[in-house]
Chains A and B, each alone.
Chain A
Amino acid sequence: MGKKIQINKEFVDIMPQDYLDLVETGTFETPNRGWKDFGTATELIAEHSLCAGCPESIAFRHIMASIPNPEDTVMVGSTGCTSLVFPMIAVHNIHSLFGNQNAIATGLKRALAVRFPDRVKDVIVLAGDGATVDIGLDMTLQSWFRKERFTTICFDNELYANTGGQESGLMQKGFLAKMAPVGKKFEKVRLPEIARESGCDYVAIMTASKPSLVEKVIKQAVLIAREVGPTYIQIYTPCILEIGKQSMEGLQEMRTSEAPGERFKFREFISPEAQSFLDGLAEKKKAEKLATSGATS
């Protein structure tokens, strides 16, 4: 489809069908990609090994469909359930050590700016709450203090799900898990507020239950990170096994946790600089729309 993503002609006959589909009908170099491509275009994520009905995989699908420039994006992952999905995505990705994902992304962003000075390259960090808040909090905060221009996405499942349910910093107070039988004694770390105070230009906290909202937030975050400064998104992706739910109950769990007054009610913080940037984008879009409608009528 696009020019940047193509198969070497010598190898076309030996490539697997899935790969051919991806190059032919994948949404690379498509300006207005989004969840609306689901079902007709090949997705940039293939058969992953997450549990049946895992809300994290819903969030992953929506994120992969929403990133504005997949062909020029590098994702940095960390240890956890997300590292089971990273080998299955059609975007360049790096698996970092547990916790240093934001440090790696910093170096990567700077190296890409030197190597490709005339191209826009996005870096997106995607890690679980253990890597972002507990083990990698140092690297996460330092990258925000330095105003590094990339997006940090935290998949918040409120415990260490991959290793059997240990207590994490983002676990809610009093919650009992399989490997934390006493119950958590402290409040959930308020990382969105910390992110805001640490210099992030765009912060959002949400669940993955509304594809259009995920799409909007991811696009805003990546574009702001490109031009203004660091951005942070915290998405609730409950681990249905660890909270004792059935495979089909993950969606309802996300909906209940985003009700008004609950801990994952959608909130976003936009700095004045980011807001003026977004306003500029909206005006540009409006002008383009007017120009195209004027040309057709």
Chain B
Amino acid sequence: MYNVAEVNAEECVAQKGCRLCIMYCPEANCIQMDTTKMVATIVESRCKGCELCVVVCDAAKHNAIKMVAR
């Protein structure tokens, strides 16, 4: 079992200009911006499960990311 982040597309406010998770993810090319739907998407094979994106998303009260077991 391995924990990875998952974005709830309905809660994600990327279309308002939020880039917090993309900014603070320590992994390169891990959280990508889906420019057609304007939501953040996680590349699961690159995610190490550090939960920093959850911390910044919750701190901004968006609560759009949670950790799931894979």
Contact surface of A with B, Cβ cutoff 8 Å = 35-36, 38-40, 42-43, 45-48, 50-55, 57-58, 61, 64, 211, 246-248, 250-252
Question: Is A211 a contact of B48 with CB atoms below 8 Å?
Answer: no
Question: Is A247 a contact of B23 with CB atoms below 8 Å?
Answer: no
| B51 and chain A: residue at smallest CB distance | A248
Residues of A within 8 A of B55 (CB): 248, 251-252
How many contacts between A and B, using CB within 8 angstroms?
Answer: 68
Q: Does B64 contact A (CB under 8 A)?
A: no
Do A42 and B23 form a contact, CB below 8 Å, given A53-B50, A247-B51, A248-B50? Answer: no
Q: How far is the CA of A36 from the CA of B22 in the complex (A)?
A: 9
Question: Is B23 a contact of A35 with CB atoms below 8 Å?
Answer: yes
Residues of B within 8 A of A54 (CB): 26
Q: How far is the CA of A38 from the CA of B40 in the complex (A)?
A: 11
Question: Is B50 a contact of A247 with CB atoms below 8 Å?
Answer: yes
Contact of B46 among A47, A50, A55 (CB under 8 A): A47
Task: Kindly identify, within residues 45 to 67 of chain B, every residue whose CB is under 8 Å from any CB belonging to chain A.
Answer: 46, 48-52, 54-56
Question: Is A52 a contact of B23 with CB atoms below 8 Å?
Answer: no
Question: Is A38 a contact of B19 with CB atoms below 8 Å?
Answer: yes
Q: Taking each of B23, B35, B49, which has the highest tally of chain A beta carbons within 10 Å of its own beta carbon?
A: B23
Jot down 18 A-B pairs with beta carbons below 8 A, ordered by A: A38-B22, A39-B32, A39-B40, A48-B28, A53-B48, A53-B51, A57-B27, A58-B24, A58-B25, A58-B26, A61-B25, A61-B28, A247-B49, A247-B52, A248-B50, A248-B55, A250-B26, A251-B55
Q: How far is the CA of A57 from the CA of B55 in the complex (A)?
A: 17
Question: Is A53 a contact of B22 with CB atoms below 8 Å?
Answer: no
Question: Is A39 a contact of B31 with CB atoms below 8 Å?
Answer: yes
Residues of A within 8 A of B13 (CB): none
Q: How far is the CA of A211 from the CA of B49 in the complex (A)?
A: 21
Question: Is B22 a contact of A52 with CB atoms below 8 Å?
Answer: no
Question: Is B28 a contact of A47 with CB atoms below 8 Å?
Answer: yes
Residues of B within 8 A of A38 (CB): 19, 22-23
| B41 and chain A: residue at smallest CB distance | A39
Residues of A within 8 A of B32 (CB): 39-40
Residues of B within 8 A of A48 (CB): 27-28
